[in-house]
Structure 1
Amino acid sequence: MILARTIHVSIKLIPVILALKKDRILWISKEGKNIDEKRFRRNAQRILNTCISLGPVFIKFGQWLSSRADILPQPYLEELSKLQDSVPAVPFEKVRPIIERDIGKIEEKFDDLDQNSLSGASLGQVHRATKNGQQVIVKVRRPGIEKQVERDLKVLMKIIPFAMKFVDPNLRFSIIPIMKQFDESIHEEMDYSKESENLKKIKKNMEPYDNVVIPEVHDDYSTKNVLTMEYIPGIKVTNIEELDKKGIDRQKLVIDVHKVFFTMLLRHSIFHADPHPGNISVRDDGTLILYDFGMIGRLNNETRLRLVRLYLALVEKNPPRTVNAMDELGMLAPDFNREVIERGIDMSIKSMYGKKPDEMEVEALMTLANKTMSKFPFKLPKHLALYLRMSTIIEGIYHTHKVDFKFIKVLRQILEEESLIKDAYIEEIKHSFKRFAKTLDDTLTIAPELKKFMDENRIMQQKNKRGSNTLLSGSILSGAVFFGSAFLFQSNETLGIIGIIASAAIMGIFVASRNR
């Protein structure tokens, strides 16, 4: 059975893998410029359709890939972010036994339960019901989904590492951890008790904010296979016609979406990682409603503060600090070219503030980049993958509404309102102190060599008294310049090297003058 499924999946995937390999090579070689974007999107759409045709695990994997900027070109990410988890529901008689086994006879537990599903997803489906006079939704896991998931995970683990190695040999090291993380994620999504925990944590974190509501969980009607929640109806966040009928301020709506999700990210350790339009609705008063907490992201405090530092550096238009934060987040390769990245960040900042960089400046930067590296050395640590997915999907909501919106202004508001600027500055001071300590340590390592240099000169002076005062003065001046340059080298390599060369030149001049 596994063999037959593996062959079937392989036949489906071969055409899209071949197209991805070609597109990825082109994307990297051209740095994403002057490409046939329509072709890229068409090929991405083929991957999306293939995932849908192969079933639940592949739909989830397609969603997962939409967060991997280290694997897919940007047009692929944007297209796959549209992959919503919508699958026809199974007949109610197939899920009835699961509900009754876990919480009891439906007729005894509910006033009413609609046998027609409200929506169907790859791992479960949702039904409306009434419990003690209150409207609720009942989310129930698909029958037999565990076996189907285990089978297709085995198939994926056989095919995907080989396929990614074919697309790019460099991916053979990163794809295995990605697959293991996906395995963990899909098993967590199948456990509705985990989703209940995630929902409660995020609900508690977001309680102080009046622009978002999250349903209550009915614990006595919830298990690993069934999740019963408060029913909160609303307008889909991208339904522009209905939103306009209700007089909803769509510019404020887009701002609120960004505020809610980036507040989760930058203030708290857990965030909703699947904000596609089907998971966000809007009340008549403009309040956001969040659904489906199966896919969440977690950041430890250290990573969260580094993200805050990154965003503060962008707000303050500081490319060097932005690059420092990116480096500490693990977003840059060890051998990255700081000058190229800083200039790229500088142009990005100008773009975010509404100042379009001069086209000649862009061309000059790209020429410099192509000479120093084959591509900008960005990579994506696993703990930031879901954050990128969240950001990409939210950006799609903004593009749907086409309102006047400046992300950097909203970002500044979030940092100020959440008192995150102080935290970021404290971390920046710690970071600067660590760099200073490392610089001092490196410089002290050089000190014995400097002392040896001075001692050798002193011996030379004792052997040859002529011009000793001149040589001593030269040694002191040269040594001081050398010591200072070694210190400066840690923060500015160019000036440091110039200083070291200058120290040698100074010593040469004094030696020459002594011999006259």
Structure 2
Amino acid sequence: MVVFFRLFSIVRTLLRYRLDLLIPRSQLPWLVRMALLPCRLFPKPKLSRGECLRQAFEDLGPIFIKFGQLLSTRPDLVPDDIILELNALQDKVPPFDSTHFRQLVEAGLGAPVDTVFKTYEQEPLASASVAQVHGAVLHNDQPVVIKIVRPGIERTIDKDVRLLNLIARLIERYSADGRRLRPVEVVEDYRNTIYDELDLQREAANASQLRRNFQDSDLLYIPEVYWDYTRNNVLVQERIYGIPVTRIEALNAQGTDMKKLAERGVEIFFTQVFEHNFFHADMHPGNIFVGTENPQLPRYIAVDMAIVGSLTREDQYYLARNLLAMFRRDYKQVAELHVQSGWVPKDTRVEQLEAAVRTVCEPIFDRPLKDISFGHVLMSLFRTARRFNMEVQPQLVLLQKTLLNIEGLGRQLYPDLDLWTTAHPFLERWLKNRFRPQALIQEFKRYGPEWLEKFPRVPEMLFKTLNQSQQFGLVGPELQQLRLELEEQHRRQRQSRRRGLIGLLALAGAVATAWPAIGSEAQNWLNSIHWTALPPASWALLALGLGALLSRR
């Protein structure tokens, strides 16, 4: 029953903002078009499609806001005008009771707050959809922050993710663009991302790794994690004091070298991506501060390391060479690198991809370098390659989103920032160092024992592979027949589920359409029912029906 009312709320919001218009009706089967007929009773809002989607997410609550924020990191799937609106989503929710917060901290740490902390602040420093933060001081007088997962958030996430998955499967099945947009994959990425954010011990481990990477650097400071007081749902970390990076007036007031600050941001990004291969992937302005110790050599301070990214060695190499080739206008090499890296199918015609890349990049590079957006060049490159069936890997999308954040922040701090002047020598140096004799020797030291261990088994592995390939040839026809039978069975199951899903959505749409007229009567009727008096068999049947509809199998 709770799931149905949540679905009804989603359908009502869809009708209010006419989100059905995001999918052309001509691409939908007639049965789905009939189910969406009630939508025409609602007027079209005087908003752009991006504004409609953003406001719909905000109305549906924090879990959908998080989903919208994830969509804003997928420029390979979502149009630019919608991404601009989704970037404006704010993840701010009212704080929950501080007494409850204290109880959760004590339950997580297994000790009273007064025993663990010398002082503890009742008022929260920040409150978001997933977690809430309070200030405190340890008994050694070290200021810290306590971050704790919002109570009951797992159930809310589980319920909404199941509904999102239901909607995604419907879109993928009935929209002509569904397969290309991969909505089920996007929801799965979202599920993994938000569940990772619930594990504060994972965030603490990410913070420790980043802190270790910049231990002796004056570029970036990462607050220390206090592991003795950190659990899966509780994180205690050093409290930092700095100027929020968006407070330009305060930075200018202390005499900050803004050009140096912007350039250091770019240097931090490329250091994380290419030297450390471990980068903070959520570097929006709310997570970045500037230290006050030395305004002429300003140092960044970063918080909230729940989302990090890394690349394979191959992706690092091909990305660096792609960027260098693009800015040299060597479009043929760009196309060849895309094929060599496996980013596009091996049978892609290089000359066609080269022509497409040239068409996109030539207008960009006719402008002065300081006016070129590095992030948008990368976005254009991925979008062009998508026409050649390139499927952008999640780690590359995270990288692109982080680069856009860093570049936008850098130009906000120093409008004349020339990203390429900072990035070019870094990439040239990194590629040269990659093939230095010392680097090759280090690689051999790292992987040599493993190679030597496997080498004696190479003949045996080769023989087994040949033997298995022969056996596979014998059973090939039987496997083909089994595959056809399974496909037919799966097709019949999909048809059955399709009718149930359309019926459920049509029912929710009908209720949502009629709600203004019957809302009060329906509410009185619901209140008059003695839900607790219903026999167990009724609840069992209801649960069975909803479970069948929401089943992923």
Q: Same fold (TM over 0.5)?
A: yes
Instruction: Give the CA deviation at 1:321.
Output: 1.9
1:127 aligns with 2:134: yes
Q: Does the aligned pair in 2 maintain the 1:330–1:379 contact within 8 Å?
A: no
In structure 2, C-alpha distance between the alignment counterparts of 1:424 and 1:11, rounded to whole Å: 59
Instruction: Give the CA deviation at 1:195.
Output: 0.6
1:7 aligns with 2:11: no
Cα 1:40/1:277, change in 2 over 3 Å = farther
Q: Does the aligned pair in 1 maintain the 2:335–2:354 contact within 8 Å?
A: no
- Measured against aligned partners, the alpha-carbon deviations of 1:44-103 in whole angstroms (never above 9, x if no partner) come to 233223223222321221111011122211232233233343222212112222100111
Higher relative contact order, structure no. (Cα contacts within 8 Å, ≥ 6 residues apart):
2
Instruction: Give the CA deviation at 1:273.
Output: 1.0
Match of 2:121 in 1: 114
Instruction: Give the CA deviation at 1:203.
Output: 1.8
Cα 1:410/1:42, change in 2 over 3 Å = farther
Instruction: Give the CA deviation at 1:309.
Output: 1.9
In structure 1, C-alpha distance between the alignment counterparts of 2:9 and 2:230, rounded to whole Å: 37
- Measured against aligned partners, the alpha-carbon deviations of 1:320-348 in whole angstroms (never above 9, x if no partner) come to 22223334455546656224223135416
- Measured against aligned partners, the alpha-carbon deviations of 1:302-321 in whole angstroms (never above 9, x if no partner) come to 22222222223234442222
1:268 aligns with 2:276: yes
Match of 2:49 in 1: 43
Cα 1:243/1:171, change in 2 over 3 Å = farther
Match of 2:431 in 1: 420
Match of 1:354 in 2: 369
Q: Does the aligned pair in 2 maintain the 1:280–1:289 contact within 8 Å?
A: yes
Cα 1:402/1:253, change in 2 over 3 Å = closer
In structure 2, C-alpha distance between the alignment counterparts of 1:44 and 1:409, rounded to whole Å: 34
In structure 1, C-alpha distance between the alignment counterparts of 2:385 and 2:262, rounded to whole Å: 38
1:408 aligns with 2:410: no
1:62 aligns with 2:68: yes
Q: 1:277 aligns with which of 285, 294, 300?
A: 285
Cα 1:43/1:420, change in 2 over 3 Å = same
What amino acid is the match of 1:423?
R
Q: Does the aligned pair in 2 maintain the 1:311–1:411 contact within 8 Å?
A: no
Cα 1:355/1:57, change in 2 over 3 Å = closer
Cα 1:167/1:135, change in 2 over 3 Å = farther
Instruction: Give the CA deviation at 1:406.
Output: 1.6
Structure-to-structure mapping, 1:248-267, within 5 angstroms = 248-267=256-275
Q: Which moved more, 1:197-206 or 1:125-134?
A: 197-206
Match of 1:82 in 2: 88
Q: Does the aligned pair in 2 maintain the 1:119–1:127 contact within 8 Å?
A: yes
Cα 1:4/1:149, change in 2 over 3 Å = same
Give the TM-score taking structure 2 as reference length: 0.65
- Measured against aligned partners, the alpha-carbon deviations of 1:8-45 in whole angstroms (never above 9, x if no partner) come to 123323536345446xx9xxxxxxxxxxxxx9994323
Give the TM-score taking structure 1 as reference length: 0.70
In structure 1, C-alpha distance between the alignment counterparts of 2:367 and 2:285, rounded to whole Å: 25
Instruction: Give the CA deviation at 1:173.
Output: 6.9
In structure 2, C-alpha distance between the alignment counterparts of 1:90 and 1:238, rounded to whole Å: 27
Q: Does the aligned pair in 1 maintain the 2:407–2:419 contact within 8 Å?
A: no
Instruction: Give the CA deviation at 1:399.
Output: 4.4
Match of 1:201 in 2: 209
Instruction: Give the CA deviation at 1:425.
Output: 10
Q: Does the aligned pair in 2 maintain the 1:312–1:424 contact within 8 Å?
A: no
Q: Does the aligned pair in 2 maintain the 1:235–1:243 contact within 8 Å?
A: yes
Structure-to-structure mapping, 1:464-479, within 5 angstroms = none
Cα 1:376/1:402, change in 2 over 3 Å = farther
Q: Which moved more, 1:397-406 or 1:98-107?
A: 397-406
Q: Does the aligned pair in 2 maintain the 1:323–1:341 contact within 8 Å?
A: no
In structure 1, C-alpha distance between the alignment counterparts of 2:394 and 2:328, rounded to whole Å: 27
In structure 2, C-alpha distance between the alignment counterparts of 1:244 and 1:173, rounded to whole Å: 44
1:385 aligns with 2:385: no
SS in 2 for 1:137: strand
In structure 2, C-alpha distance between the alignment counterparts of 1:86 and 1:314, rounded to whole Å: 40
In structure 1, C-alpha distance between the alignment counterparts of 2:46 and 2:341, rounded to whole Å: 29
SS in 1 for 2:425: helix
Match of 2:19 in 1: 17
Q: 1:161 aligns with which of 151, 158, 169?
A: 169
In structure 1, C-alpha distance between the alignment counterparts of 2:411 and 2:179, rounded to whole Å: 31
SS in 2 for 1:11: helix
What amino acid is the match of 1:385?
V
Instruction: Give the CA deviation at 1:164.
Output: 5.7
What amino acid is the match of 2:404?
T
Unaligned 5+ residue runs, structure 1? Answer: 26-38, 358-371, 428-516
In structure 2, C-alpha distance between the alignment counterparts of 1:16 and 1:392, rounded to whole Å: 30
Q: Does the aligned pair in 1 maintain the 2:314–2:341 contact within 8 Å?
A: no
In structure 1, C-alpha distance between the alignment counterparts of 2:385 and 2:271, rounded to whole Å: 36
What amino acid is the match of 1:420?
L
Q: Does the aligned pair in 2 maintain the 1:41–1:75 contact within 8 Å?
A: no
Cα 1:165/1:193, change in 2 over 3 Å = same
SS in 2 for 1:117: strand
SS in 1 for 2:124: coil
Cα 1:6/1:272, change in 2 over 3 Å = same
What amino acid is the match of 1:312?
L
Q: Which moved more, 1:80-89 or 1:221-230?
A: 80-89
Cα 1:255/1:150, change in 2 over 3 Å = same
Match of 2:355 in 1: 340
SS in 2 for 1:116: strand
Unaligned 5+ residue runs, structure 2? Answer: 28-44, 373-383, 440-553
Structure-to-structure mapping, 1:310-325, within 5 angstroms = 310-325=322-337
Instruction: Give the CA deviation at 1:127.
Output: 0.8
Q: Does the aligned pair in 1 maintain the 2:134–2:147 contact within 8 Å?
A: yes
Which structure would you say has the larger Rg? Answer: 1
Q: Does the aligned pair in 2 maintain the 1:161–1:175 contact within 8 Å?
A: yes
Cα 1:329/1:170, change in 2 over 3 Å = farther
- Measured against aligned partners, the alpha-carbon deviations of 1:453-512 in whole angstroms (never above 9, x if no partner) come to xxxxxxxxxxxxxxxxxxxxxxxxxxxxxxxxxxxxxxxxxxxxxxxxxxxxxxxxxxxx
Match of 2:230 in 1: 222
Cα 1:152/1:184, change in 2 over 3 Å = same
What amino acid is the match of 2:362?
M
In structure 2, C-alpha distance between the alignment counterparts of 1:378 and 1:40, rounded to whole Å: 36
Cα 1:164/1:87, change in 2 over 3 Å = farther
Match of 2:409 in 1: 397
Cα 1:80/1:254, change in 2 over 3 Å = farther
In structure 2, C-alpha distance between the alignment counterparts of 1:409 and 1:270, rounded to whole Å: 23
SS in 2 for 1:102: helix
- Measured against aligned partners, the alpha-carbon deviations of 1:422-444 in whole angstroms (never above 9, x if no partner) come to 438999xxxxxxxxxxxxxxxxx
What amino acid is the match of 2:394?
K
Q: Which moved more, 1:8-17 or 1:184-193?
A: 8-17
Match of 1:35 in 2: none
Q: Does the aligned pair in 2 maintain the 1:70–1:378 contact within 8 Å?
A: no
